[in-house]
Amino acid sequence: METILEINQLHKTYGTLTAVDHISLKIEKGHVYGILGPNGSGKSTTLGMVLNVVNPTSGDYKWFEGTTSNHDALKRIGAIIEHPNFYPSMSAVQNLELVCKIKNINTSKIIEKLTVVDLLSRKHSPFKSYSLGMKQRLAIASALLNDPEILILDEPTNGLDPQGIRQIRDIIQKIAASGTTILLASHLLDEVEKVCSHVLVLRQGKMLYSGPVDEMNRNHGSIFIDAADRDALHTFLKDKPYAGSITRHDDGLEVKLYEDVDNAQINKEAFESGLVLNKLLHKKQSLEDQFIELTNQN
Amino acid sequence: MKRLLGIEFHKFRYSKSSKVLTVIYLTIVVLLMLTGMIRINFNQFSGSLSDLGIFNFPLIWHITTYFTSFLKIFIAIVLVSLTANEYSNRTIKQNLIDGLSKKELILSKFYLALTLAILTTLVVFVASLILGLIYSDFNEFSIIFSQMGYLGAFFLAHLIFFCFCLFAGILVKRSAFALGFIAVWYIFEGILNLIARGVDQFYDTSIYDVLLHILPLNAMSNLIKQPFTKIDLVQSTMNQLPIEGIEFGYDIEWLDVVSVCLWSVLFIYLSYKLLKTRDL
């Protein structure tokens, strides 16, 4: 498979603070990657380094298997970093013309990309008159101008209202569906869960996990179970091989699972032990639970 | 180079401050040309400025370059704000992400400075030529195009100043502070000059002469020396005064030319180093 980006032991310190701690990873063509991490975990710094705006303390990275120089490689990607950065007094079209000049491509795609992000009606207004959502959409149009081989998005929905978030997310999903490789940094987990196939988890500059989203946590979720006699239910459950820790809630017990179970089997066994269940619910662990668990346990 | 210049002129064209200040610059140049018609009374002399002979070739090259030199501050403000605004709008970061290398970024700014220096020199050349053709008493071809070195000096003085502005913009990152930095530096050189003169008087050294060529703004303003004492009227007035032994040099000194070129290179190189080592 074609490798788009290879990062090798990338390291960045600011004085005594370690922002990114020896990260290595490989981005392959056609996948949608999410970088997860709380604020200040080194997401933006990592992206800044591969985008040539932050100097790494040590380590290196290679775009497109090292076949082109870094700044030529950047002409083949599209990237949006935090805030949309444009010239305030230029209009959308003028700003995009400048990007075309920098990327050394012709200006024929400007109208097409402005249509994708729904900015065509405001294409001649100066950038400073745009709302934040429009600015962010212009940034996406700008990143798409060269039909990039990889699209890098750093917190693309930061600071937007729900409608704006929805618009951006729809655009991202459309782009992902067209087969473009995407690297999406975010602390919004449902955003990542909805579009990403692979995920990297960072905390304090360290990489905690890297791999497919489904394999991120090997536990099997939990069951919510309740019966009239909770003590008896507790005794019944605690010797079972599949049961992990049991937590009492107001509305029943939550049992962490060690292995896959069949709800019907539990129900049957409970009934045979004289317990009538009034609730039995299997819950798969959400990405949020997995993320919190992963960032807490290390 | 064409691509880089295209990028930079795109930024220049759509910036409001650059438009306003370019118009101001051109207006002042035109107004200065019109001063030839002003009538004055000075020392039993009455007539228009042109009767003073200041628009005679080749003296006019010296006079116009000397006076319009002060106007470079307008263009400099444009350059400083264009550069520093790249930082405050964070477009410099976006330019790099879009695939401009740091070297190309500095080069494109330098090309803009170079082009502006050439354009201003051209404007002053054309303006002086017209002015001279109207008012000059000598219109022989060989006289018109003699002493053109002042235009070369004018160009170099602009180039170094623009490079200095570029460096200030990149160093300080905020346009107002960058202009402040330039002003402070100017004052700093002035103070050094005063100290040097003081020391020279006390210890019979010649530090001031050295500083005059070595400091960037000193060398820049020393390129084109004052032309007043060259004017006939002033000369005859001075001859009546009982001062002896004052010699004025008007020539462009090679030492200044070299110094100015070296400083320009240094400013561009330092700007590149700054950009390269700093995280954005």
Interval A230-241: pLDDT, tens: 888 888 888 888
- Range with the poorest average pLDDT among B80-84, B240-244, B254-258: B240-244
- A114-126 pLDDT tens trace: 998 889 999 999 9
Structure confidence at residue B264 (pLDDT): 96
Of the CA atoms within 13 Å of residue A194, those in its CB half-sphere come to 14
Q: Is B205 on the interface with A (CB under 8 A)?
A: no
Arithmetic mean of pLDDT, A238-259: 83
Mean pLDDT for the stretch of residues B196-213: 88
A240 versus B235: which is more confidently predicted?
A240
The answer to whether B101 contacts chain A (CB < 8 Å) is yes
Beta strands in chain A (DSSP E): 3-14, 17-28, 32-36, 58-63, 77-80, 150-154, 181-186, 198-203, 206-212, 222-227, 243-249, 252-257, 277-283
pLDDT at B109: 95
Q: What is the pLDDT of residue A285?
A: 73
Does the pLDDT value for residue B176 go beyond 60? Answer: yes
Report the chain B residue with the minimal C-alpha distance to residue A91. B14
Helix axes B2-13, B72-88, angle to 10 degrees: 90
Residue B156's domain comprises 2-277
Q: What number is the ipTM of this complex? A: 0.85
Lowest-confidence segment of A1-10, A72-81, A86-95, A251-260 by average pLDDT: A251-260
Out of A55, A85, A98, whose CB is closest to B90?
A85
Q: In B, which residues are within 8 Å of A102 by CB distance?
A: 7, 95, 98-100
The alpha-carbon gap from B81 to the nearest alpha carbon of chain A, in Å, equals 13
pLDDT band, very low/low/confident/very high, at A105 (cuts 50, 70, 90): very high
DSSP H or E stretch at residue B39: strand B39-42
Candidate from A84-88, A193-197, A215-219 with smallest mean pLDDT: A215-219
- What is residue A40's predicted lDDT score, i.e. its pLDDT? 82
Cβ separation of B99 and A102 shorter than 8 Å? yes
Residues of A with CB below 8 A from B102's CB? 52
Are B279 and A81 in contact (CB < 8 Å)? no
Q: Give the 3-state secondary structure of residue A222.
A: strand
Interatomic CA distance for residues A291 and A296, integer angstroms: 8
Examine the pLDDT at B30 and tell me if it is beyond 90.
Answer: no
**Mean confidence (pLDDT) of chain B:** 87
pLDDT-derived band of residue B246, with 50, 70 and 90 as boundaries? low
CB-based contact A51 B98, cutoff 8 Å:
no
The answer to whether B99 contacts chain A (CB < 8 Å) is yes
Mean pLDDT of B185-196: 94
Report the alpha-carbon distance of residue B159 to residue B152 in Å, rounded: 11
Return residues 55-114 of A near B (CB < 8 Å).
55, 69-75, 79, 81, 83, 85-90, 94, 97-99, 101-104
User: How many percent of chain A have pLDDT more than 70?
Assistant: 98
B59-72 average pLDDT score: 88
Averaged pLDDT for residues B112-134: 90
Question: b/e per residue, A210-230, with b = 16+ CB within 10 A?
Answer: beebeebbeebbbbbbbbeee
- pLDDT for position B17: 82
Question: Does residue B179 carry a pLDDT above 70?
Answer: yes
- Specify the pLDDT at position A133: 87
* pTM as predicted: 0.84
A217 compared with A274, residue with greater pLDDT: A274
Helix (H, G, I), strand (E, B) or coil at A130: coil
Give pLDDT, residue B245.
Answer: 56
In this predicted structure, the answer to whether residue B104 has a pLDDT above a threshold of 70 is yes
Task: Give which of B60, B235, B238 is closest to B135, Cα–Cα.
Answer: B60
B94 at A interface, C-beta within 8 A:
yes
DSSP secondary structure letters along A24-60: EEEEETT-EEEEE--TTSSHHHHHHHHTTSS--SEEE
B chain contacts of residue A129, beta-carbon cutoff 8 Å: none
For the segment B238-259, the average pLDDT, to the nearest whole number, is 75
Greater model confidence, A255 or B234: A255
- Cβ atoms of residues B203 and B137 within 8 Å: no
Residue A191: pLDDT above 80? no
The pLDDT value recorded for residue B243 is 61
Tell me the pLDDT band of A183, cut-offs 50, 70 and 90: very high
**Average pLDDT for residues A172-186, to the nearest whole number?**
87
Burial class (CB in 10 A: 0-12, 13-18, 19+), B183: exposed
Across chain A, mean pLDDT equals 87
Residues of chain A in contact with residue B100, where contact means CB-CB under 8 angstroms, are: 71, 102
Q: Do B97 and A102 touch (CB under 8 A)?
A: no
Model pLDDT for residues B152-165, shown as the tens digit of each residue: 999 999 999 999 99
Structural domains of chain B, count: 1
**Rounded distance, CA B218 to CA B190, Å?**
9
Q: Is the CB of residue B50 less than 8 Å from the CB of residue B135?
A: yes
Tens digit of pLDDT for each residue in A32-52? Answer: 899 988 888 888 899 999 998
pLDDT recorded at residue A103: 92
| Alpha helices (H) in chain B, listed in sequence order | 2-13, 16-34, 59-68, 72-88, 91-97, 102-135, 141-144, 149-172, 175-203, 207-214, 216-223, 232-240, 254-277
